[in-house]
């Protein structure tokens, strides 16, 4: 059975009809007042909602575009600020480091002036033993720079330790807080002798051992300065070691013991001063100088006067100073 063909209107005829309708409507609007009534009503119900929808969609798109532009600008500004923050952080760290180094150098300068009669050389700490404390460490000066074993090392507030080994461009320092350290000391205000021994276990509380103190008049009290003594074999006299923390009478009722707070911060050491004058050399030079001065200033005397002067001066004993029996083991390495 043959199917019936469907009737279709060509598209060009539809376009022609719509064109004529539009032209006619436009002509009617211009030539008459027809658009004032029905057309406005129709447009109010049809065109205005469409226009509002288009305006809303356009506003939404415009806000999104503006937000995207602002977000892009903010991201660019954020990246720039991050770079500035990184630069300022590096600059701040550098300034803090320089400030710390300046403060350290100022303390060393003051310390250098305090012990101005002794020759010194500055050195940087380049290595240390494990642990929090600088009880054994290396410095960047050695025998080529004139560093020798038994030279005293100072920093910050006072005595740090003593040189125990040297190389061409390095030296090892044993600080006074090390368990093997034993320094002959005295209380500054009355010159009573004692010993300061290192104790890493006590350093967890920031103190050291203070032993064999001769204090017959009970003058020593908390806060008194303790310095190296004149009978020390290796340490120069008068270098500040620390401050009395606590003290009590020993069982023998003859000596006292306690603890001492070191003057140096042994948890933060970066730069030190090495006293290049050895204690033995200084003592020998002083003795030679005093002997030469006494020979030059002593007037001629008769034989009888010489005989009488062969004894010791009044008030002095010909025996050696009374020091604790453990003096043989002082300043052990």
- Segment 68-89, tens digit of pLDDT: 888 888 888 888 888 888 888 8
- Any idea what DSSP says for residue 140? S
Q: Tell which phi-psi region holds residue 131, choosing left (phi > 0), alpha (psi between -120 and 50) or beta.
A: left
Residue 52 tokens, joined: 């509002």
Q: Is pLDDT above 60 for 293?
A: no
What average pLDDT does the segment 229-246 reach? 93
pLDDT, residue 239, reads: 93
Q: Do the beta carbons of residue 283 and residue 293 sit within 8 Å?
A: no
Confidence grade of residue 327 (pLDDT, cut at 50, 70, 90): very low
Separation of alpha carbons 139 and 153, rounded Å: 10
Kindly state the percentage of the chain with pLDDT values over 70.
73
Quote the CA–CA distance of 149 and 303 in Å, as a whole number.
Answer: 47
> Apex CA 150: angle with CA 149 and CA 155, to 5°?
110
Task: State yes or no: pLDDT of 313 exceeds 60.
Answer: no
Residue-averaged pLDDT of the chain: 78
pLDDT at 197 > cutoff 80? yes
172 compared with 316, residue with greater pLDDT: 172
The model's pLDDT over 16-36, given as tens digits with 9 standing for 90+, comes to 877 877 777 777 666 655 555
Checking DSSP bridges between strand 120-128 and strand 193-197, what pairing results, if any? unpaired
pLDDT mean over 236-245: 94
Give backbone dihedrals phi and psi of 152, rounded to 5 degrees, phi first: -75, 145
| Phi, psi of 196, rounded to the nearest 5 degrees | -115, 120
Q: Which two tokens stand for residue 304?
A: 């009888």
User: Can you tell me the mean pLDDT for 133-159?
Assistant: 93
Q: Encoding tokens for residue 97?
A: 């480091």
């Amino acid at each position: 059975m043959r199917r019936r063909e469907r009737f279709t209107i060509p598209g060009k005829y539809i376009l022609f009809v719509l064109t004529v309708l539009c032209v006619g409507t436009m002509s009617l609007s211009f030539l008459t007042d027809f658009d004032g009534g029905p057309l406005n009503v129709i447009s109010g119900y049809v065109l205005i909602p469409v226009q509002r929808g288009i305006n809303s969609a356009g506003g939404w798109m415009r806000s999104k575009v503006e937000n995207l532009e602002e977000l892009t600008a903010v991201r660019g500004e954020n990246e720039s600020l991050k770079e500035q923050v990184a630069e300022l952080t590096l600059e701040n760290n550098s300034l803090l480091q320089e400030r710390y180094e300046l403060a350290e150098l100022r303390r060393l300068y003051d310390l250098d002036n305090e012990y101005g009669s002794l020759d010194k050389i500055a050195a940087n700490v380049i290595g240390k033993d494990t642990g929090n404390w600088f009880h054994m460490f290396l410095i960047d000066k050695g025998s080529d720079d004139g560093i020798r074993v038994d030279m005293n090392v100072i920093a910050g507030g006072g005595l740090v330790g003593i040189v125990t080994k040297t190389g061409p461009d390095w030296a090892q320092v044993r600080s006074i807080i090390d368990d093997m350290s034993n320094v002959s000391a005295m209380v500054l205000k009355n010159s009573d002798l004692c010993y300061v021994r290192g104790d890493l276990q006590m350093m967890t509380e920031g103190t050291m051992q203070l032993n064999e103190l001769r204090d017959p008049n009970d003058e020593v009290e908390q806060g008194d300065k303790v310095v190296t003594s004149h009978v020390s074999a290796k340490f120069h006299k008068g270098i500040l070691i620390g401050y009395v923390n606590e003290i009590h009478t020993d069982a023998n009722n003859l000596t006292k013991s306690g603890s001492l707070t070191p003057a140096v911060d042994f948890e933060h050491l970066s730069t030190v001063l090495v006293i290049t004058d050895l204690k033995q050399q200084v003592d020998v030079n002083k003795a030679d100088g005093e002997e030469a001065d006494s020979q030059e200033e002593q007037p001629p005397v008769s034989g009888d006067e010489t005989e009488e002067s062969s004894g010791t001066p009044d008030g002095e004993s010909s025996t050696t100073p009374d020091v604790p029996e453990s003096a043989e083991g002082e300043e052990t390495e």
